[in-house]
Amino acid sequence: MEEETEVDILLARKRREANDRYFQRVNQGILDVVAKLEDVAIAMRAVEQESKELWGDGIESVPGSAKP
């Protein structure tokens, strides 16, 4: 019985270590995706700013009129 308990403890430890490695990989994948999304957000803000500069922000324009 004592031998079975030791084997069970050893197997449980190995499963826990495997789970820890798996979740570390998952976590790293999530961090990579978040970093890429931040890059996309920065690029989108730059495009938005460039668009505002090109077309104006629309506040001072009159509907139906074109900005020079």
Q: How confident is the model at residue 60 (pLDDT cuts 50, 70, 90)?
A: low
- Amino acid 2: pLDDT: 85
Q: How confident is the model at residue 38 (pLDDT cuts 50, 70, 90)?
A: very high
Token representation of residue 5: 């308990």
- List the structure tokens of 58: 């629309």
68 pLDDT more than 70? no
Q: Does the predicted TM-score (pTM) go above 0.75? A: no
Whether residue 3 has pLDDT greater than 90: no
Lowest mean pLDDT among 42-46, 51-55, 62-66: 62-66
56, 67 in Cβ contact below 8 A? yes
